[in-house]
Structure 1
Amino acid sequence: MDVKVISKYRLGEAMELGFPFSIFRWTHAPGDLPEVLFRRNFWKLVYVIAGKGSIEINGHEYLLSPGTVLFIHPESETRYRLAETKLEICNLCFLPELIEDRLEKLRDPSGFFSILRPGSSAPPEAVRNLCVQSAPPSVAGLFRKMEREYRSGRNNCREMLRTQLIELLLLLERNACRLRNRRRSGGPEPARTVLAYLAEHLESGVDYEELTLLTGLSRSRLGVLFRRETGENISSAYLRLRLKRAKELLAGEEEFSIPELCRRCGFRDISYFYRRFRREFGTSPRRTAGR
Structure 2
Amino acid sequence: MIVFGETSKSAVGAVETMKKRIDYLNRVLFLLLDNIAWLLVVVSVVVFSIMSDRFLRPYSLLGIIPRVAPIGILVIGQSFTMLTKHFDLSSESVLGLVAFSAALLIASPELGGWGTVLPGWLVIGLMLGAGVLIGMFNGFMITKLKLNNLVYTIAILIILRGVCYLISPSTSASDLGDGFGWLGGGSLFTVTVEGKPIRVQVSLFFFFLVFAAAHVITRYTRFGRNIYAVGSNREAARAAGIRSERIIVAVYTISGFCAALAAWALAGRMD
TM-score range for the pair, normalised by the shorter chain length:
under 0.3
More strand by share: 1
TM-score, with structure 1 as normaliser: 0.25
> With CA pairs under 8 Å and 6+ residues apart, which has the higher RCO, 1 or 2?
2
